[in-house]
Structure 1
């Protein structure tokens, strides 16, 4: 296949912090590549560099002549005064098309991406529809190569499945950055991971995400064995140098030089493989064995002119893990708030066990005070945190959630989305719970953090209710799901896929 885009020796740093060094790879026609990496690794920066929207520090970026490349940014903000079709039409400026050809293409691509009102003001679109418009705008270009940065953000599960099918049927190649593992499995035939643990800062392997995990495990095992071997050689050479310090023959000088080279090699390996850690999430259950923690009967809720749901019966017992599914706007968060007690149902009853202890993770992490420091948010009183009958110093507690000591005096509002999510979970972990309510807890979390969250929710001994668009997490932890259809109807399902089969 013809190479469309090539980067050689690409290096980028922010201040003294390197993102990647000497990154070299190609993207060829019709390749379908998934881009992954921990938060802060530089995935968005790399995509912007590839799209020509950000400068590289050194190296080269080469795009084959006449190649059309599109770029779907993580978040699109559209100016006021422009309609949906205006946004797409502007993307075609400079294209060698007759006016009627442009209008035909605009109509075709907007219809394909789900729009029926082409004159709707673009700035009034919801997050999910803004994402669809960003995709439509770039598809109108009929690109040879499309770069997508977290394209599932703001999309509901049906929207994610729609995008998965759209990309699979597309005639162009693409590089897509995502933390959604189910989506990744559905769209990628190769995986490229940006991570300092690899020589050159990246690792690329053919096959889907599961095959990539197998390749990566083999590679990292081999690298660990090599590091152990180099460490043994350095130890032996150091001992020899200690005994032969006085020797200055040519042979000895050569061995001294080799020892220095080996020490440098070991230092580089140790830097790359230093464990960046994973967040120490572990929600504390109370151990309560009450058979019914919560019983909801016939609950209903409407907004003016629209019924969200009605006649829903739910019983929550220790070990029940209930997922709430539905398209955007169907009332998932409202149902969660009715169960948590934040909203009252229009009809029906919600009965709680006496002394029920509830802990809530709010969508958008609205409980966080953005005007206090991280130290104050983690530990409001003094320097010690009470957790599982132990006293933990705030510095150790911060490190458990991957915060650096120097971040303790940073305002919460200056933290990244992923850091704010970890902070909110750190606060929740200090509150033993019978029942957890989690509204979109996976937003802004990278794959390692998602895997830790799955583990702790799977092990949680109480009950939980969760709203999420992460199919893999829901499939792994939920014992049952309620699907809302967006028209006031609802039903109980065993799995996410069972609901999707009915919904579609």
Structure 2
């Protein structure tokens, strides 16, 4: 495949801190690349630079002549009076189209995006519809490569599925930053983890998210073995130095220099091997034993003349993990306000347990004061934090949530979206609660933070209400799902049951059986095509061929565990990212061919 864009030795710094350095890679025609990595690794900085919208501290980026680039940023900015239709027309500026062609393109885009009102002011759209508009605006320009920064943020579940449909088999290459694991699995064919834990600064793996997990696990195992080998060597060299080694000879001097390199490499490997979950704590529970924390009966609410829901009954009990699902505008936020007592239902009653302790995470993080420092936000009165009847220094608490000590003096307003999300969660975990209400808590979180948040939600003994468009999180955490906006409110055992039910409802009805006709004489059936001579030879040897292919897979896996390979990051990455997937694909192809030949012979 032709190379669309190549990066050579690129690096970026922010506030005196190196985000990444020495990155070298390319983007091929038709590539579907998922860019992941911890918050603060520089993913958005890298994406902007690749799209030509950002600056680097060093290195070069070269593109194919005439390359058409599309870029969808995290936040969409549309002019105050610009309508949806006008925004789409503005996206065609500079394109070689006459007015008729532009209007046809806009009509197609309006249909593709599913916009209900072309004359709606773009600036007044909800976050999800703004995101759709920004995506379709870039698609209008027919890019060769499209860069998308967290495109699933603000989209509802149907919006995420809509975007998946576009990216499953596009006519363009794309690079997407997202931490939606189902989205990565469904749309990407290669993953790139931007992370200083790797010697090259990143790990690139062909395949979906599940293939990446397998490769990363192997990498970390090999890195652990490398650390063990270096520690053994370091002990020998340290003992030699302590015996009073002197650099009197060239050989001795060389060994002392080699020992220094071993210690330096060991220090580097230890730092890279020390990657931990970004958040290492859980939500605090009040410990109350009340069986029913909240009971709502026959709840209904109408806003702006539109009925959001009616006849809703629900009971929140300890251990309930309720996922709240629905399109944007279906009434999810309204229901949360009813349950928190900041809004009254039109009909029905809500009975709360006495002294019910509720904590709320808002998706706009309104509970954070942007003018405070990180330290002040975590602990306004002192340097000590009280957590589950114990005390911890504010620095230690901040580190549990992935913050560095030098960030404690940073203003909240200057923190990244992911860092603000982690800060909000760090504050909430200090408050004992009976009921957690979390509105889109996964937005902007990296994969490590998501894993920690999931563990915290799963282990919380009280009741949880979770609004999220992350299907993986809903499936993993929730033991009940409530769907709004699709007729009467409906409960399901989990998100998967809901999707299966929806798919069944949308499936076409079975065709009615036609009346039996009088049987006509049946023409003799032509015999199945027999195997050709070459196919018979192929079938006789295919088991042997499969065995050899499986041996090749085992050989590559064994090779990756060799000390000389485990200490060679470039070779290790080549084996994981290229050779192993290729060998496994060959085995699958051979098994499929075997079945094909057996069926033909039968």
Normalising by structure 1, what TM-score?
0.94
Name the residue aligned to 1:92.
92
Which SS does the other structure have where 1:319 is aligned? Answer: coil
1:130-209 correspondence to structure 2 within 5 Å? 130-209=130-209
How big is the shift at 1:266?
Answer: 2.4
CA distance 1:184–1:245, change in 2 (3 Å): same
1:317 matched to 2:317? The reply is yes
Name the residue aligned to 2:513.
none
Name the residue aligned to 1:497.
496
Which SS does the other structure have where 1:115 is aligned? Answer: coil
CA distance 1:45–1:410, change in 2 (3 Å): closer
Specify the structure having the higher radius of gyration (Cα): 2
How big is the shift at 1:160?
Answer: 0.4
Name the residue aligned to 2:478.
478
User: Which deviations, in whole Å up to 9, do the C-alpha atoms of 1:229-283 show, x marking residues without a partner?
Assistant: 1232122122213325235223223322322332332233234334365212311
Q: How many angstroms apart in 1 are the aligned matches of 2:19 and 2:413?
A: 23
Q: How many angstroms apart in 2 are the aligned matches of 1:180 and 1:321?
A: 20
Q: How many angstroms apart in 2 are the aligned matches of 1:265 and 1:399?
A: 25
Name the residue aligned to 1:387.
387
1:346-365 correspondence to structure 2 within 5 Å? 346-365=346-365
How big is the shift at 1:136?
Answer: 0.9
1:229-308 correspondence to structure 2 within 5 Å? 229-246=229-246, 248-275=248-275, 277-308=277-308
CA distance 1:315–1:183, change in 2 (3 Å): same
Name the residue aligned to 2:577.
none
Which SS does the other structure have where 2:253 is aligned? Answer: helix
1:294-443 correspondence to structure 2 within 5 Å? 294-443=294-443
Q: Is the 8 A contact 1:233 1:262 kept in 2?
A: yes
CA distance 1:376–1:265, change in 2 (3 Å): closer
User: Which deviations, in whole Å up to 9, do the C-alpha atoms of 1:447-481 show, x marking residues without a partner?
Assistant: 11111011111111111111111111111111111
User: Which deviations, in whole Å up to 9, do the C-alpha atoms of 1:406-445 show, x marking residues without a partner?
Assistant: 4334333333332332222222222222221112221221
Name the residue aligned to 1:464.
464
Name the residue aligned to 2:509.
none
How big is the shift at 1:501?
Answer: 4.8
Deviates more, 1:210-219 or 1:224-233: 224-233
Name the residue aligned to 2:47.
47
Q: How many angstroms apart in 1 are the aligned matches of 2:365 and 2:169?
A: 36
User: Which deviations, in whole Å up to 9, do the C-alpha atoms of 1:322-345 show, x marking residues without a partner?
Assistant: 111100011101111211222211
Deviates more, 1:283-292 or 1:221-230: 283-292
Q: Structure 2 unaligned segments of length 5 or more: list them.
A: 507-602
Q: How many angstroms apart in 1 are the aligned matches of 2:396 and 2:265?
A: 31
Which SS does the other structure have where 1:365 is aligned? Answer: coil
Q: How many angstroms apart in 1 are the aligned matches of 2:59 and 2:99?
A: 40
Name the residue aligned to 1:111.
111
Q: Is the 8 A contact 2:246 2:252 kept in 1?
A: no
How big is the shift at 1:116?
Answer: 4.2
Q: How many angstroms apart in 1 are the aligned matches of 2:98 and 2:143?
A: 18
Name the residue aligned to 1:68.
68
Deviates more, 1:208-217 or 1:101-110: 101-110
Q: Is the 8 A contact 2:34 2:184 kept in 1?
A: yes
Which SS does the other structure have where 1:39 is aligned? Answer: coil
Q: How many angstroms apart in 2 are the aligned matches of 1:383 and 1:26?
A: 47
Q: Is the 8 A contact 1:149 1:176 kept in 2?
A: yes
Q: How many angstroms apart in 1 are the aligned matches of 2:392 and 2:290?
A: 31
> Displaced runs of 4+ in structure 1, greater than 4 A?
501-504
How big is the shift at 1:115?
Answer: 2.1
Q: How many residues align?
A: 503
How big is the shift at 1:307?
Answer: 0.9
Q: Which is richer in strand?
A: 1
Which SS does the other structure have where 2:55 is aligned? Answer: coil
Which SS does the other structure have where 2:364 is aligned? Answer: helix
Normalising by structure 2, what TM-score?
0.80
Name the residue aligned to 2:564.
none
User: Which deviations, in whole Å up to 9, do the C-alpha atoms of 1:48-102 show, x marking residues without a partner?
Assistant: 1111111222222111123222111111201233332333333333333233222
